[in-house]
Chain A
Amino acid sequence: MVAVSFKDVWKDYGSGAVAVKELNMNIKDGEFVSLLGPSGCGKSTSLRMLAGLEHISSGEIIFGDKVVNKLPPKDRDIAMVFENYALYPHKTIYENLANPLRQAKVPADEIKRRVTEAAELLEIEHLLERRPQELSGGQKQRTAIGRAIVRQPQVFLFDEPIAHLDAKLRARMRSELKHLQYKLGVTTVYVTHDQLEALTMADRIAVMNDGVLQQFDTPQQVYENPANSWVATFVGEPGMSLMEMEMTSVEGDMALAFGSETIKLDQKSAARLAAAGKINLLVGVRPDKASVSLEPLPNGIQCEIYSRQLLGADVLVEVEIGKSRVRAKADTSFGGNVGTPCHLNFLSENLYFFDAEDGKVIPQ
């Protein structure tokens, strides 16, 4: 199919609303890339610039080796699923699905075959004679997906295509879309604010915040080696907790000072932090790498339970230490409740270290 790149792309909507800032991203041919970020971070804007629906303020968008900045959508050979479906109310579902093929002047029997095929895959074949306003939200969304997949374009652009489906159907559509994309090998950009979708489907995830690309890497890397403290807290459910700490030394060894407490460091972390030479740090720990106990353990931190939530198999305990709050997973048999004094424990090799000033990760 085709590789897609953003080169120094800016999008300024005017009146000071800069939606995308200096976006650089190279998406490989046939790759499934997910744009992940909170609402309003510029995901849809980036996608619409790829589609040619939005003018680019500066920079270049490149398909293969061709700069497509000036190409209208129809000449980009793309298919797109819109956030709000954008079906044609005056056409039947069949005609909605057939529209891209009609535009491409595909013969009638071929149109019939492909539309039926897509409708079967999406389980909307019994709705083909209806009109969009006679469909449920989920059925509309599947129709919109169908309209994108009847044709084999160079690039698929999905803008939260399954956000309105129920949980079960969403899980099925995730695997169907992933399978379809793998089978067709079409380069895909998939916008979502649901990290589960991004982590499960994408070859690489582009994490955005406030118009700025934070990290562009494989799901595993994004989860295990977040590029900065923002990505660290955004990715993962529940997200990483951050604590403000300072470098100090105890009996000649490097340690972290946290209020009146000190935490001894393992050798690897100590070497890493020594090399970075930063004093003020943001220290992160994932909930499943932290634990709470009622009895003091060596290297633990004294704290108080702030909240306790049952997750099913285990309990999420949020503890308060000074002004920071840290989440930890505990066994359902854990006895503490809100207000109980307890101890937070973690191994220093499981900690993440970020520069307190710019949030950047301290490299390994």
Chain B
Amino acid sequence: MTVTTSSETHPALSDQDWGFSTIDRPPSAINPPPSRMFYVYLAAPAIALLAVITIYPFLWLIYMSFHKVGFGSSSDIFVGFENFSRLFTDTKYIEGWGLLLKYSAICLSIQVVVGVALAVVLNNSRYEKILVTLFLMPMMVSPIVAGLLFFYLYNGTFGWYHWIFQSLGFLGETSILGSTKTALYGIIIVDVWQWTPLITLITLAGLKRVPQDQLEANMVDGAGSISNFFNVSLPNIYPFLLIAILLRFMDNFRFIDAILALTGGGPANSTRLLPVYLFDVSFQFFKLGRGGAIALTLLIVTIILGLILVRVLEDPTRKKALSGDPDN
């Protein structure tokens, strides 16, 4: 076998500078490795686009949060940290945080437990394909439509769910959205209905990748199916589950469409989660400066909580399981 360098086969390549580095190339490399600048050129358009569509609005958000934003002919007035300092005395803001955290914690717990359980039951079951297709449906419904759908299902005079909850003794005369005690659970049910399938799907994808030989080894070691799940399956699907949890956690902090359709924050602020309040401040009362401050705090806390979540849930060894060693 003869080894030819590219300069022998393609003389044109070495004559011009194509942005490829041609020095120190092993003779066997037909295509020389591109230089670093080559990658920069390739990425430049994407970076520019990203700057325009995300970084510019983000900087604008910061600008707004330090100003009293004017409309029409009135110009913006710089107010320093006033927008922020006023938040500490804003009870709706503080209550909004409490409601948001409660809502998110309950939604996530239910979705993870139910979602994973469903995935385990579905995995390799006879009706897996058709059931997965059915489960996909709630996710495909637009959140605002989901909100409207449940608005009717919860209706105190003709809603099916209202009737069911009432028959089970959970509800009195008022509908679930009508009482400050139950409205939050009303919106939680919608989120669970719509997004548990996402956890199920991601977990199911993870379960498909659990190595059969580890399951078999564990069975030979004396494990039953429950131990097999906690001992082998769960550690193996953990990286997938972590991603699903993060996705849902961030969505809970952002998606308010269904809530707006269902309650709009009521009754008596009982479902006015922070993002709902943010919406009201910015787009009902058009206080864009304060809205910017709220948005910025929400963003920072989301990032911090997200990082903490990753830290707490991620065990360094599990990261390796994700990177995948085909031998194991």
Q: Which residues of A contact B (CB under 8 A)?
A: 51-53, 72-74, 78-80, 82, 84-91, 99-100, 103-104, 131-133, 137, 140, 147, 151, 157
Contacts and interface: CB of A to CB of B under 8 A. Distances in A.
Nearest to B228: A74
B217 interface: yes
A313 B209 CA distance: 52
Classify chain B: how many residues form its interface, as a range.
Answer: 20 to 34
19 contacts: A53-B219, A53-B220, A79-B220, A82-B216, A84-B327, A85-B328, A87-B217, A87-B328, A88-B214, A88-B218, A88-B231, A88-B328, A89-B214, A89-B317, A89-B321, A90-B235, A90-B321, A132-B325, A133-B327
A87 B213 CA distance: 8
Interface in B124-162: none
B224 A86 contact: no
A53 B228 CA distance: 14
A147 B221 CA distance: 8
A104 to B, nearest CB: 6
A95 to B, nearest CB: 10
Contact of A51 (B220, B231, B236): B220
A85 to B, nearest CB: 7
A99 B327 CA distance: 19
A99 B328 contact: no
B227 interface: yes
Contacts of A99: 218, 221, 231
B94 interface: no
B10 interface: no
Contacts of A84: 213, 327
Contact of B216 (A53, A90, A103, A133): A53
Given A82-B213, A82-B216, A90 B221 contact: no
Main secondary structure on chain B at its contact with chain A?
Answer: helix
A90 B222 contact: no
A89 B220 contact: no
Contact of B320 (A53, A79, A89): A89
A23 B325 CA distance: 36
Nearest to B221: A100
Contacts of B235: 88, 90-91
Interface string B285-328: 00000000000000000000000000000000110110001011
Contacts of A89: 214, 317, 320-321, 325, 328
Interface in B216-273: 216-224, 227, 231-232, 235-236, 238
A103 B221 contact: yes
B328 A103 contact: no
Given A87-B328, A90-B236, A90-B321, A82 B221 contact: no
B232 A88 contact: yes
A140 B219 CA distance: 19
Interface-centre pick from B218, B232, B318 (highest chain A CB count, 10 A): B218
Contacts of B320: 89, 131, 133
A45 B156 CA distance: 63
Interface-centre pick from B220, B224, B232, B327 (highest chain A CB count, 10 A): B220
A28 to B, nearest CB: 22
Nearest to B236: A90
A73 B218 CA distance: 9
Contacts of A100: 221-222
Nearest to B234: A90
B229 to A, nearest CB: 14
When A and B form their complex, which 3 residue pairs have the shortest distance between CB atoms, in order from nearest?
A: A103-B222, A86-B213, A90-B235
A52 B325 CA distance: 27
Contacts of B221: 79, 99-100, 103, 147
Interface-centre pick from A51, A79, A88, A140 (highest chain B CB count, 10 A): A88
A350 to B, nearest CB: 46
Given A53-B216, A131-B320, 17 more contacts: A51-B220, A72-B224, A73-B216, A73-B219, A74-B219, A82-B213, A82-B216, A85-B328, A89-B317, A89-B321, A89-B325, A90-B238, A100-B222, A103-B222, A103-B223, A137-B327, A140-B327
Contacts of A74: 219-220, 222-224
Contacts of A52: 219
A90 B224 contact: no
Nearest to A105: B222
Interface in B188-211: 211
A88 B218 CA distance: 9
A92 to B, nearest CB: 8
A177 B222 CA distance: 22
Contacts of B318: 90
A342 B328 CA distance: 55
Nearest to B328: A89
A53 B222 CA distance: 12
B219 A131 contact: no
Given A99-B231, A132-B328, A133-B320, A86 B214 contact: yes
B35 to A, nearest CB: 34
A131 B224 contact: no
Contacts of A85: 327-328
